[in-house]
C-alpha cells in the first residue's frame, strides 16, 4: 500500500515537472519580444527623472 502511494506521488511529481518544463520553454507572451529593450529604456528614463529631481532639490538649498 505504501509502495502504491509512493508510485502515485512520483507520477504526480513527474507530471508537474513536465508542465513546468513546458512553461519555461514557451515565451509568456509572444508580443513581448522587445521586453528587455523596453525595460532598459524605462530604467534609463527613470534614472534620468530621478537625477533631474535630485538636481532641482540640490539647487533649492
CA distance linking residue 30 with residue 40, whole number of Å:
19
Residue 27 CB contacts under 8 Å (≥ 6 apart), including other chains: 33
pLDDT tens digits for 5-14? 888 889 898 9
Domain spans in the chain, listed from the N-terminal domain onward: 2-59
Write out the chain in H/E/C secondary structure. Answer: CHHHHHHHHHHHHHHHHHHHHHHHHCCCCHHHCCHHHHHHHHHHHHHHHHHHHHHHHHHCC
pLDDT tens digits for 46-55? 999 999 998 8
pLDDT at 32: 67
pLDDT at 45: 94
Q: What pTM, to 2 d.p., does this model score? A: 0.45
Amino acid at each position: 500500500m505504501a509502495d502504491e502511494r509512493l508510485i502515485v506521488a512520483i507520477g504526480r511529481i513527474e507530471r508537474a515537472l513536465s508542465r513546468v518544463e513546458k512553461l519555461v520553454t514557451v515565451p509568456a507572451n509572444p508580443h513581448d519580444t522587445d521586453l528587455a529593450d523596453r525595460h532598459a529604456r524605462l530604467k534609463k528614463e527613470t534614472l534620468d527623472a530621478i537625477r533631474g529631481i535630485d538636481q532641482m532639490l540640490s539647487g533649492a538649498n
